[in-house]
Amino acid sequence: MINRTHLVILLTNVFLFSAAPSHSQKINVTHCNGACPVYESSMTANRANIVIHHVYAAGINGDSGLADWLSIV
């Protein structure tokens, strides 16, 4: 059985590691010839997904499931 001290240590570690900032990488997509299109609205950007395939890159609309933009090699 877990005692109170171990529980406090466990919860502290969970809080510290979940609150740590994450760092992302900058990804260059050669399909878009410099820079892929960006979404103006943050709400639309949060719903959209970027799909990168070896032949194409696409911005998929989260509401309709259709491509908002497409870039082909």
pTM over 0.75: no
- Is residue 60's pLDDT more than 80? yes
pLDDT in tens, 4-55: 888 888 888 777 776 656 666 666 667 777 677 877 878 777 888 888 888 8
Q: What's the token pair of residue 36? A: 């892929």
Using CB atoms within 10 A of its CB, is residue 69 exposed (0-12), middle (13-18) or buried (19+)? middle
Provide the pLDDT confidence category of residue 66 given band limits of 50, 70 and 90: very high
Write down the pLDDT at residue 5. 85
